[in-house]
Chains A and B, each alone.
Chain A
Amino acid sequence: MLELQIAGRSFGQPVLGEVFATIERGDRICLLGPSGIGKTTLLNAIAGLDKAIPAEAIIGREKLRVGYLFQEHRLLPWRTLNANLRLAGANHEEAEEHLASVGLKGYGHYLPDQLSLGMARRAALARCLAVKPDLLLLDEPFASLDPVMAGELKALIAGILDTNPGMAMICVTHDGGDAEILANRLWYLNGQPARLQWDDVVGEPRLINDLLGRLRNSEGFDLV
């Protein structure tokens, strides 16, 4: 069952080289690779944000609803959390439910700047859910969170994916440990220009461990 096809032959910009991949329902992809290699560029390309990348490079996107968790929360600071979720397509009650599902029950009337970093990121995750996404794009969701908050967010995301088996996810991370918890498929982006050097599908998350082990031992593997 084909969902989204990346045909990077026509990317036509310097960072990304030829990237080919097909994303299917239920795919939980962790996108690994060194800093500055183009992971966010690839995510933006998939989301249709990179104007340099022609639309035909990503096949099937227009049929998908995409929720994008940016590195910053990118909530409108002059709108309450509830209003921010409504602008993404939820109604008032749905917005409150989505907020409750990320542990922000009763915070609908708060402004984004009133929240801590971890809370704001969860609110942004709730906004992703407000579009009822087929594809969840997460750009370093655990960056600059303390280990406890990062762990909670990881469990939260894993829970969301478990209750929505049809949802696909691509999560950019530096940390192989994130992949062990979240992923059933690994992408490894590296090279100049960058290509997907690894694209391995693993049936079950726990098998990711073995794959990561093999990856770490392979030549030129570099996450930082």
Chain B
Amino acid sequence: MSSHSGRPPAWSYWVVLPSFVLFWALVAWFLKSPLLPTPLNVLDTLLRESASGELWHHLSATLARVIVAFVLAMLLGTAIGIVMGRSRTTNALFDPMLVLLLNLPALVTIILMYVWFGLVEVAAVMAVVINKVPNVAVTVREGARSLDFRLEEMATVYDFTRWQRFREVWVPQLFPYLMAATRGGLALIWKIVLVVELLGRSDGIGFQLHMAFQVFDVAAILAYSLAFIAVVQLIELAILQPLERHSSRWRQPETAHA
């Protein structure tokens, strides 16, 4: 389940990405069109938006929605996934609903939430959560189905409490699935949050992209996208990867000799 296995060496990022920026600069310089600003234009816009505080205002609004929606979706999805993986009856009851929700376009959920509950924050976050919960549930269900029955028996014999069974036996086995759900979840939630903001909020990156779209301000669109990508990468590097390394330490221990 490790995401590192398919990862190219670090230098490739330092070659490919600058080359791309160079290529972009050349094309922009050649076209001289306001519809394709140069990288320097975009950087300039980014710095201006940052200095005026606009960028931080909208970025933090989006980030707050992402965090709330993510936490709710993970908690709900994990609980549903575990129950579905452990009980055939629950699985039979919930599975048709999962299939329905998994195939429901995100846009439909967002529109319905706004229509039913109005253009309010709760409706926005609810729409994101409803879109994400089925994915988490399906992933965690796979994990719950593959729980080792031998460790379950061990936990029964040695009188583990419910909490110990959850914390010591289940969570470490579910961890790769939870990480997969987290990664996929963040990527999906970011994108849905932008659409939610575009359609019915008055702050956030999605709202700003909408405003820039109205006046064809491509530099602003690219500047906000860049800020966005940077934050997502920061979360990956600063939180997800260290968490994964910390929790996988037991997998590759050195052997003892005696």
Interface, chain A (partner B; CB < 8 A): 44, 47-49, 66, 68, 70, 72, 74, 76-79, 87-89, 107, 110-111, 113-116, 119, 127, 131
Contact = CB atoms under 8 A, between A and B. Distances in A.
A74 B150 contact: yes
B157 interface: yes
A87 B158 contact: yes
B168 A88 contact: no
A47 B152 CA distance: 13
Contacts of B172: 76, 78
Contacts of B157: 47-49, 66, 68
Give the dominant DSSP class at A's interface.
Answer: loop
Interface in B233-258: 250, 253-256, 258
B254 A114 contact: yes
Given A44-B153, A48-B156, A72-B150, A87 B164 contact: yes
B117 interface: no
Interface band, chain B: 10 to 19
Given A49-B156, A76-B151, A115 B256 contact: yes
A79 B158 contact: no
A76 B256 contact: no
A220 B26 CA distance: 90
B79 to A, nearest CB: 22
A79 B154 contact: no
A122 to B, nearest CB: 10
B169 interface: yes
A10 B253 CA distance: 46
A78 B158 contact: no
5 nearest CB pairs, A to B: A74-B154, A78-B250, A78-B172, A114-B256, A68-B157
